[in-house]
């Protein structure tokens, strides 16, 4: 599960970079990608025992 979340986070970050380089990024799509990346990072931290998700 943790590996899947990490891969999903890296995929989201890669998608953001690719869209910015290709000049296809719209504000809405960039916002969605950033939201997914932040959610994945928070889930990974929670799985590692930091409990960031509980604070939110």
Domain ranges in the chain are 2-51
SS3 50: coil
| Banded pLDDT at 11 (limits 50, 70, 90) | confident
The one-character DSSP state at 51 is: -
Q: What is the reported pTM?
A: 0.46
Whether the predicted pLDDT of 48 surpasses 70: yes
Helix axes 27-47, 2-22, angle to 10 degrees: 160
Whether the predicted pLDDT of 53 surpasses 60: no
Distance between CA atoms of residues 28 and 7, nearest Å: 22
Tens-digit pLDDT profile for residues 13-46: 777 777 776 665 567 677 777 777 777 777 777 7
CB 38 within 8 A of CB 46: no
C-alpha distance from residue 56 to each of 23, 46, 48, 51 (Å): 33, 11, 16, 9
């Amino acid at each position: 599960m943790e590996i899947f979340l990490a891969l999903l986070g890296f995929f989201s970050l890669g998608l953001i970079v690719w869209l910015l380089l290709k000049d296809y990024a719209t504000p809405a799509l960039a916002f969605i990608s950033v939201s997914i990346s932040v959610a994945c990072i928070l889930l990974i931290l929670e799985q590692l025992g930091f409990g960031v998700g509980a604070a939110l």
